[in-house]
Amino acid sequence: MLAEYGKEARILAGGTDLLPLMRDRALTPKYIIEITRVPGLDYIDVSNGQSGIKIGALVTLGSVELSEIIKNRFPLIPEAAHLMATRQVRNMATIAGNICRASPSADMVPPLLVLQAEIKIANNRGTRVVPCGEFFTGPGTTILNGSEMVTEIRIPELPLGCGTSFLRATRTQSDLAQVNAASVVMIKDGICEEVRIALGGVAPTAIRLRKAEEALKGKRIEGEALENAAELAAGEIRPISDVRATAEYRMELSKVLVKHVLETSVGRAERRQR
Amino acid sequence: MKREINLVVNKRTYPLTVELNRTLLEVLRDTLDLTGTKFGCGAGKCGACTVLIDGKPMLSCLMLAVSAEGKAITTIEGLSDGDKLHPLQEAFVEHGSIQCGYCIPGMIMNASAFLAENPEPTEEEVRKAISGNLCRCTGYVKPVEAIMAVAEQMRKKS
């Protein structure tokens, strides 16, 4: 159907983004393709054993909040989902919808980036799988052409003893984040073996903080190393001023959130290892 | 463009012909005369339009009416049993939790589902749970008290 109606159609799942946009006449699609009754898109697939998880496009934020399996193996996802919007919205909104809307402050994106998730895309000729980091092309834009849709999000298994954390700064609960941050750390004997940090709301798309990550590897994530990482993070982002926050405030928030998610991740990694 | 659908609201089936672009909120209020559910913002932020869909609180202003076919829809009118108020409704009245009343149906629908999921909440959990129901009058103090009181009541009964 997407191939046929292509650019004049929009996909409807939760509708928590599409309907407000239509109401404001920001979007006036000629056709709406509602996928909520398409079988085989609402699943959390753990059949790969300890080798990762596959989340279908219709899985809601509410479902991942409550999923015991996801809470045990990928706590970062329900942690982020729980902080998003409101209960009512979470019962309707999908993870896939959050990433397809590709807001620079989308709350699911930093977690998926640091988890090195992959996005499965389908069109009428077949499917392809794309690393999350390559999915976003700019504010509100993705690599999807008009006749494709996301069908699945794949998350590879996290090594044992990882710690993760997500934080968002916002004016009110229903509002978009001003800045959000996610991190994964792997600690061995107190030393950082591997670290991934992502920030949203501070660049055209959410981004990994490669320089900050490099600087932390092989070190203890604390004190001067932590301060230094926050400063490096500030150098990697390009926040803008908008109705939610000034660029300066976003810069400060970024440094604080980077430090906090790292500290929390390290604490959780250490607790998991006991 | 219209479509014929059946909507099941408060356990009653309504055969309807609706325009494809009408929201569930519009149909509930304007076609079915179930005006307990309110239009607050129409943008999914205030929660005044909260109804239960298969027992889960959702925003009827963000649902197309045609999407609600095949679901069990519960509105505030469906919470009371004839003239017998639901414990949450009674508690809100007793505790003086209602001022203008506009946010209340949505808040009670949300709270009813929340207590079914979490019968022994902390006050913090209640506040977080109703964060999707904005109130300009009460400052949330009495509504939260009422919800905690009902939780306490439910705990005593069991």
Task: Please tell me the distance from the alpha carbon of residue B76 to that of residue A157, in angstroms, as a whole number.
Answer: 44
Residue A236's alpha-carbon distances to A9, A138, A211, A213, in angstroms, are 37, 16, 8, 11
CA angle in degrees (0–180, nearest 5) for B23-B29-B34: 130
* Structure-token pair, residue A7: 């650019």
* Mode of pairing for the β-strands spanning A44-45 and A53-56: antiparallel
Which residues does chain B have with pLDDT short of 70? none
**pLDDT tens for residues B24-59?**
999 999 999 999 999 999 999 999 999 999 999 999
Taking residue A124's Cβ as centre, other Cβ atoms within 10 Å add up to 10
Closest-approach residue (CA) in chain A for B53: A91
Distance of CA A122 to the CA centre of its chain: 20
CA–CA distance, A196 with A188 (Å, rounded to integer): 15
Query: What does the H/E/C string look like for A176-197?
Result: CCCEEEEEEEEEECCEEEEEEE
Q: Do A23 and B43 touch (CB under 8 A)?
A: yes
Q: How far is CA A21 from CA A28, A29, A94, A99, A165, in A?
A: 8, 10, 16, 16, 31
Q: Which residues does residue B64 pair with via DSSP β-bridges, in sequence order?
A: B23
Give the integer Cα–Cα distance in Å for B149 and B144: 8
User: In this complex, how many residue pairs, one in chain A and one in chain B, have their CB atoms less than 8 Å apart?
Assistant: 64
Helix (H, G, I), strand (E, B) or coil at B64: strand
Calpha distance A265→A182 (Å, rounded): 9
Facing B132 at nearest CB: one of A19, A36, A89: A89
For B68, nearest residue in chain A (alpha carbons): A36
Least CB-CB distance to A88: which of B20, B23, B58?
B58
Residue in B57, B62, B67 closest to A16 by CB: B62
φ, ψ of residue A157 in degrees (nearest 5): -65, 140
Instruction: Give the list of residues 6+ apart from residue B122 with CB closer than 8 angstroms, or none.
Output: none
Q: What pLDDT shows up at residue A6?
A: 72
pTM above 0.90, yes or no: yes
Positions of chain A with pLDDT lower than 70, given as ranges: 1-3, 274
Chain A contact set for B45 (CB, 8 A): 174
Q: How far is CA A69 from CA A51, A64, A117, A165, in A?
A: 13, 9, 17, 17
Tell which of A31, A66, A82, A86 to mutate to test the B interface (max B CBs under 10 Å).
Answer: A86
- Side by side, the strands of the sheet bearing B50-53 are B12-19, B2-9, B72-74, B50-53, B56-59
Does any CB of chain B come closer than 8 Å to the CB of residue A48?
A: no
How many helices (H) and strands (E) would you count in chain B?
Answer: 5, 5
Contact status, residue B103 vs residue B42, Cβ threshold 8 Å: no
Query: Is B147 in contact with B130 (CB distance < 8 Å)?
Result: yes
Report DSSP letters for A16-71, one per residue.
TTHHHHHHTTS---SEEEE-TT-TT-S-EE-TTTTS-EEEETT-BHHHHHH-HHHH
The pLDDT value given to residue A3:
67
- Name the DSSP class of A159: P
All residues at 6 or more sequence positions from B57 whose CB lies less than 8 Å from its CB, including other chains: A87, A88, A91, B50, B51, B109, B110, B113, B114, B132
Distance, in Å, from the CA atom of A245 to the CA atom of A231, rounded to the nearest integer, reads: 20
HSE (side-chain half, CA atoms, 13 Å) at B9: 25
A223 Cα to chain B: minimum distance (Å): 33
